[in-house]
């Protein structure tokens, strides 16, 4: 289900589009381990015809299922584009392709939403990451760990 608007309806008045778009319709198959799109995109848009273009204004909202890149904890990330404005040319090199006087807004929404995705999602800005646990303390021995030789020290022992 794509989000389309009929240009003939726009010649008389503006068109209001409200509802939800399933993530499969947007084609947001990210194949990403830290960001998953499982919730629909809620939209409240108003489309009007300009001279040789469409003007789309309103808001887009969705919740991403993210994994913190520091502590690996899962958390919801609200993605909100409000106010949202989009200018789509109907003439020229960058003109939108029409199908029986219908303009498909879906590719433009997808692109704008992808640009707003977090590059490195954090559960909170001050997240310290995973806690380091001493191996001997984890076992409960209480013995201080020996200093392990580095990989470079082991390589230096080789007689080549």
Q: Where are the domains of the chain?
A: 4-131
Lowest mean pLDDT among 1-5, 64-68, 91-95: 1-5
Q: Which residues of 11-27 are buried (b: 16+ CB within 10 A; e: fewer)?
A: eeeebebeeebebeebe
Is the pLDDT at 3 greater than 80, yes or no? yes
pLDDT(140) > 80: no
**Neighbour tally for 140: CB within 10 Å:** 6
Q: How confident is the model at residue 56 (pLDDT cuts 50, 70, 90)?
A: very high
98-126 per-position pLDDT tens digit = 888 899 999 999 999 999 999 999 999 99
Asked if omega into 83 is within 30° of 0 (cis), the reply is: yes
Q: Is the pLDDT of residue 1 over 90?
A: no
Whole-angstrom Cα distance, residue 20 to residue 43? Answer: 6
CA dist 103 → 16, 60, 91 (Å): 14, 18, 13
């Amino acid at each position: 289900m794509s989000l389309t608007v009929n240009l003939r309806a726009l010649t008389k008045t503006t068109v209001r589009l409200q509802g939800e778009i399933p993530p499969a319709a947007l084609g947001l198959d990210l194949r990403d381990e830290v960001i998953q799109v499982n919730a629909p995109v809620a939209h409240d848009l108003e489309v009007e015809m300009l001279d040789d273009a469409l003007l789309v204004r309103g808001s887009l909202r969705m919740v991403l299922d993210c994994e913190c890149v520091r502590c690996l904890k899962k958390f919801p990330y609200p993605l909100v584009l409000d106010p949202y404005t989009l200018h789509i040319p109907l003439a020229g090199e960058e003109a939108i392709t029409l199908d029986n006087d219908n303009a498909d807004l879906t590719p433009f929404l997808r692109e704008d939403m992808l640009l707003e995705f977090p590059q490195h999602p954090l559960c909170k800005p001050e997240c310290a990451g995973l806690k380091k646990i001493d191996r001997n303390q984890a076992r409960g021995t209480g013995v201080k760990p020996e200093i392990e030789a580095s990989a470079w020290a082991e390589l230096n022992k080789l007689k080549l």
